[in-house]
Structure 1
Amino acid sequence: MPIFVLLRQKKMTSTTVFLFALVLSDTLILFSSALPGWVLHTWDINTLSVSNPGCKTIYFIACYSIHLSSWLIVADTLERTACVLFPHKVRLGCSPRNAGLIIDTIVLAVFGINIILLVIFDVNGYNGGRCGPSTKEYYDLFVYVYRWIDFTLTFGVPFPLLVIGNVIIVVQLARSRSRRQRMNISGKARDTCPVSILMIALCVLFLVTMTPVSVCFVNFPYLREKLLALESVDPYTSLYDSAYIDFLFGVATLVSYFNYTFKSAIYVFSGSKFCAELRSLLCCKATHGTRLFGS
């Protein structure tokens, strides 16, 4: 639904451009990661094992879109931070064209980092005979190198940047509001409380939903090595621990889907103009080209 509302806009702002790209990337994540898992558990069809191109493509899109989503929200947050710190230069720097250039740069950089997945993955993987790294060397590269790259791109670097950017936004908006009140500026002042709450909510959502899966994804190979060593000594305990770890990883993955499902909704439904545009869409009314998000 957010995609259709955004497509109705005749005048795009930089925030709208970032949001549109973010919605697309989150949708790709749900289709390439959540949907194959649902098909597997519902109809017992492993879409990753149907063909070798399908194995490579689905896994690549899943990892690629996850990294893209994290850095798109970082780029949007940093752009908002710049607009708050330098409000008089908003029209020069925070433009839809510059937003498009930033998105293109992120897309190409993330593509270059993840293209290795198209090389190392195979439908007959080295470990377990399923979609995965094709050789022992590729397996070690994926497990002990790529997983840390994935953690860095998905959570390790984006989260501190989100915290710093959002703290600056909230502090600057609070100072601006306080300055207006001290100077007794006439006219209706903009209420910054909703924006502050929105920024905090996005940070909390990212922290709560992405921390468990990021930690599990990094630690899973090392836990698996311990379980393999335990299997020769105590097979029953090893089997129990393995099932418990798989359960925790499944729960953590499911929780991460909430981030991609509700992040865009929090962004767009927080604006009254979006709600008005949504009502116009549902009532089949023509749009007048108003902007959902101001600079």
Structure 2
Amino acid sequence: MTDALFIYVPPILIIAGTLGNFMSFLIMRSKEFRNTPSSFIYSVLAITDTAVLYTGLLRYWLVEVWDYDPRLDSDAACKIHLFVTYLIGHLSACYLMLLTIERVISVFFPMHCKTLCSKKRMVIAVVIATLVETAFNSIFF
């Protein structure tokens, strides 16, 4: 039973997640949403969540079905995969945190939301979060 779950469920999750994140990305980049500060974070989050599926879940599926682990190819492949896997997971959580902060500001400080949560500030926050998480996860090298 467990083997069947690891064989059949991951491809379904990867395909459904990829399609869902792709549609989310397209909607957030549409004309109606493009200029909102949260649409940028949602777009980046869609890309990051898709990367989580491909770096994490895909590896487990490859090990289970094909008995192939990309981490065993070389020391460099192992380190790079570990770095990317943890980085993407941490970035996804950071982007959710930024989105939550933006929502809190819009609820508790609605009059200041346009200035505190401008699109430019959201882009800067995403860049800073990405740089901090990249430095944090550089321990794998």
Confirm whether residue 17 of structure 1 aligns to residue 55 of structure 2.
no
Q: Which residue of 1 aligns with 2:86?
A: 63
Preserved CA contact (<8 Å) 2:25 2:42: no
1:45 corresponds to 2:49: no
Q: Is the 8 A contact 2:52 2:88 kept in 1?
A: yes
Q: Where in structure 1 do 4 or more consecutive aligned residues deviate above 4 Å? A: none
Local SS of the residue matching 2:111: helix
Amino acid aligned to 2:58: L
Measured against aligned partners, the alpha-carbon deviations of 1:1-48 in whole angstroms (never above 9, x if no partner) come to 212332333732111111111111111111111101101111111111
Q: Which has the larger radius of gyration?
A: 1
- Name the CA distance, whole Å, in 1 between partners of 2:67 and 2:126: 37
Residue matched to 1:115: 138
Q: What corresponds to 1:273 in structure 2?
A: none
The residue type paired with residue 91 of structure 1 is K
Q: What is the deviation of 1:51?
A: 2.5
Distance 1:33 1:94 in 2: 32
Alignment of 1:1-295 (within 5 A): 1-9=23-31, 11-118=34-141
Whether the 8 Å contact between 1:25 and 1:68 is mirrored in structure 2 is yes
Q: Residues of 1 paired with 2:75 and 2:31: CA distance?
A: 40
Q: Which moved more, 1:49-58 or 1:94-103?
A: 49-58
Q: In the TM superposition, what is the alpha-carbon distance from 1:90 to its structure 2 partner?
A: 1.8
Amino acid across the alignment from 2:103 = R
Compute the RMSD of aligned alpha carbons.
1.4
Partner letter of residue 96 of structure 1?
K
2:51–2:88 CA contact under 8 A, matched in 1: yes
Structure 1: tracts of 5 or more residues without a match: 119-295
Are the equivalent residues in 2 in contact too, given 1:6–1:16 (CA < 8 A)?
Answer: yes
Aligned-partner Cα distance in 2 for 1:12–1:61: 30
Identity, % of aligned positions: 24
Consecutive unaligned residues of structure 2, counting only runs of 5 or more, are 1-22
> SS of the residue aligned with 2:112?
helix
SS of the counterpart of 1:60?
helix
Question: TM-score, normalized by length of structure 1?
Answer: 0.38
**2:129 and 2:80 mapped to 1: Cα distance?**
19
